A and B are shown apart, each in its own frame.
Chain A
Amino acid sequence: MVSVSAHTLTLVSPPDDVDTVHALLETVWADAAHVSPRDRFSFETALIELASNVLCHGNTGSGVTCALRLEVSAVSIDARLSDTGGTVVELLAASADPASDGAVDSREMPDALSESGRGIALIQALVDELEYTRDGDVNRWHIVRTLRS
């Protein structure tokens, strides 16, 4: 019987960056033998993309503070990230996303030789749920990957 394990992290950028998230995931995987390598690196890629977007493009000049909560159960991996960065419209515009209209549920890959704009579309391809809400001055992100094996 696999019990639910929860992990939390507060990121303050600068100086924290995505390597801080990688370090947390190392400790998460050490406690989650039932999660396959493919599920691990798929979820890790999605979460790092999300954290990169928030830490890099969400910084409108005064830094970004993020609260991350991860839950690993027998059937899924779930991450909730809230941040004090710019709105998702500002974030997508800053990341040169090809359709910066603020919608996060139907992103498409940019042209093959584009050097940016793939982050949100890549997250969508790797998780089963991607939700975004703006709550006052805070962005709330939620991603869930159902375990495949």
Chain B
Amino acid sequence: MQFTVTDQGDGIAVVHIMGRLNMVTAPRLREVVAASVAAGQNRVAVDLSDVDFIDSSGLGALIGGLKVTRQAGGDLRIAAPNEQVRLVLQLTNMERVLTAYPAASSAFHG
């Protein structure tokens, strides 16, 4: 599991995650989003294009990040989920809360 954070300017951070987002790695996502918000980037785009698996712990970390960003006046958006991630979002009725954008780089533009 690897996290890469890119400052896109305009208060936007892109968090790229590689690997599985599960009970082992979810706490790290919470830390990364909290650090971005603390650094003034309260609009966070989570790039899921290289996430091959998510469970409810990972989903909980995304929802936690959504709340932290919104409390700071921003938002958290997800991008490029694979079929397994989309299935988990669908079965947990989270598709409307965590809308998937085609690409993280454009999640807050256009």
Contacts and interface: CB of A to CB of B under 8 A. Distances in A.
Contacts of A119: 55-56
B24 A19 contact: yes
Contacts of A55: 23
A24 interface: no
Contact of A17 (B23, B59, B67, B83): B23
Given A41-B83, A45-B84, A122 B92 contact: yes
Nearest to A19: B24
B103 interface: no
Interface string A37-50: 11001101100110
A138 interface: no
B34 to A, nearest CB: 13
Contacts, number: 70
A126 B91 contact: yes
Given A109-B92, A122-B56, A37 B83 contact: yes
Contacts of B18: none
Interface string A15-36: 0011100100000000000000
Contact of B24 (A18, A109, A115, A126): A18
A52 B23 contact: yes
Given A112-B97, A115-B63, A41 B87 contact: yes
Interface residues of B, number: 24
Given A45-B88, A125-B91, A113 B97 contact: yes
A18 B64 contact: no
B56 A116 contact: yes
B56 A49 contact: yes
Helix, strand, loop or mixed for chain A's interface?
A: helix
A55 B57 CA distance: 13
A118 B92 contact: yes
Interface in A74-100: none
Given A17-B24, A19-B22, A113-B97, 14 more contacts: A18-B23, A18-B55, A19-B24, A22-B20, A41-B83, A45-B84, A45-B87, A48-B53, A112-B93, A113-B66, A116-B56, A118-B59, A119-B56, A122-B91
10 contacts: A38-B83, A45-B53, A48-B22, A109-B93, A112-B97, A113-B63, A113-B97, A115-B63, A118-B56, A119-B55
Interface of A: 17-19, 22, 37-38, 41-42, 44-45, 48-49, 52, 55-56, 109, 112-116, 118-119, 121-122, 125-126
